[in-house]
Structure 1
């Protein structure tokens, strides 16, 4: 039963670390988060019943590939789903060679799942703590030449009825510092889009004004954590401002940024549409492609200029939009396993 893999999955890591890593290339991709990054874990864990596919695409909360699919493809890396690993074998099979995707749809920023009642489904912080604990138990450090990604927090506000941003900020901050503490060097961090502007904010007794306020507070708190970590010259913190990207969606070619695609079956064409939002909560695959392009532009730039806006998170802001537009115009392809430079201690 693949659900069992979630409970025991963290024993894997003594088998998965490379014996030698390049100092200038991403050789693995590790993904921590929720449905915005989950390429099939919750789908496997629920017996392939959630999210319903179709209309969702192959267990993803969208109509096509997610940002992590697009980024992984450009980097030449395809992380193994945690729930695809058989831990009954020694060593577990398959042995991940390109990283692992730990993200689960519905994950809270903390220890559990905010949507599916199952104690074996880890929240973002538990994903990271389990990963780090296994490294430490085996006296190992994580691969410093891998790319680690974190994106979460929205489920706390949508499904745990949290209006106080302090807990999700604390959880994400602890997750980031834990990764740094066990040796991660290259970390991709996403802030939240304005949750009050999503179609789902207008249903089920949610308060759009409160959600927008919580988003702003969360993004500011996350920006402070990232800013503090960025003082360490040995770290390469790559921040993606999805808040600004979503606010600029119309300029990026989306013709409908207020409705979900699924709410308009008369004009919704899965995989080929101009909607920003798929189901009320999640971006369409076109939206994910824009997020991926922003991430790749930031990786290519090696650094992201600090935003002067009080809504940013060391934000891409206009830089992100320009980078995305340039990528669309040039149709450039990022060289596989993009080099990332950082100062040696």
Structure 2
């Protein structure tokens, strides 16, 4: 009987111990960014406009308007959260009850598009305005229970000839600030991988310059995001893509890749010269964009950061642990008394 009492006590204790929180239950998922996050917007915008008439990016080998060989991080994280945002330029979309993806391939950090300048496509800050302006004009607030993701800047340096990171980072900081002031509470912000290590940089001799810009960008971005730390009701979640890519490139085999230097696709987004037979063996799908396996790692990293922010605070953990232990001890004492009486 005493053994049963002890077992009951520890079973109760195990139930009362704090479990690490799973990803927060968000109501919707909104995305602002460039080709790393685009799930079909620029493909829709350029369909029939490009010369030849092939839309950007060409399908195949690109997957359903994405700049990769399969799903991108938005798809993976969306599946993990149970939320799949609708690309805002998709013709006659269903009601976007799970969120909207405003990201456009080639988007600059502020206004316009660095890759398709002839099309009226919004930069990252403009994308944020597409969501917030109607809300503010109607004297309303953004959904505080939604997740908002901001990732941009690479096009400013790779295609936009930006010579320093000041304005690019300010655009991204303004995007975060606009979301926060409009009612957003949960904002996911990504830094940049080392742009000096992408095949485009290696092929054009721009490696050292792009690495320097990347380091400047990430340093300034961290400083800007730190300015929001005084806002107690803002859940600002930083995702360190820079460190992730460095780990993968330092030991690609550990992550299932065989080639971390060369691109699978030779050519550009419209004119494909050749495609490797096994894209998933490569870190880079083309000279700028990663393969779907890398996107899965990015999504997993983002989810881990979300879960870390959702976990109980240490003080709360200790309190719950003490309560659980107290309850278990109480059960043990009551069981012991019952045993003593039954032995009489």
Compare the two structures and name the one with the higher helix fraction: 2
SS of 1:71's equivalent in the other structure is helix
Deviations 1:226-249 (A, max 9, x none): 122133221111111111100000
Aligned twin of 1:222: 221
Aligned twin of 1:254: 257
Distance in 2 (CA, whole Å) between partners of 1:277 and 1:82 is: 27
Unaligned runs of 5+ in 1: 1-23, 87-92, 305-345
**What's the RMSD between the two structures over aligned residues?**
1.8
1:267 CA drift (Å): 5.1
Distance in 1 (CA, whole Å) between partners of 2:75 and 2:128 is: 20
Distance in 2 (CA, whole Å) between partners of 1:265 and 1:248 is: 28
Deviations 1:267-312 (A, max 9, x none): 5413xx22111101111000101111111111111179xxxxxxxx
Q: Does the 8 A contact of 2:38 with 2:66 survive in 1?
A: yes
Distance in 2 (CA, whole Å) between partners of 1:253 and 1:68 is: 21
Aligned twin of 1:100: 100
1:256 CA drift (Å): 1.5
Query: What is the aligned residue count?
Result: 272
Unaligned runs of 5+ in 2: 1-23, 48-53, 267-272, 312-344
Q: Does the 8 A contact of 1:187 with 1:238 survive in 2?
A: yes
| Equivalent residue for 2:284, pick from 272, 277, 280 | 277
Distance in 1 (CA, whole Å) between partners of 2:274 and 2:130 is: 41
Aligned twin of 2:17: none
1:260 CA drift (Å): 1.1
Q: Does the 8 A contact of 1:85 with 1:94 survive in 2?
A: no
Q: Whose RCO is larger (CA < 8 A, sep 6+)?
A: 2
Runs of 4+ in 1 over 3 A off after TM superposition: 263-268
1:117 CA drift (Å): 2.1
1:49 CA drift (Å): 0.8
Distance in 1 (CA, whole Å) between partners of 2:238 and 2:275 is: 37
SS of 1:302's equivalent in the other structure is helix
TM-score, normalization by structure 1: 0.75
Does structure 1 residue 49 correspond to structure 2 residue 78?
no
Aligned twin of 2:126: 126
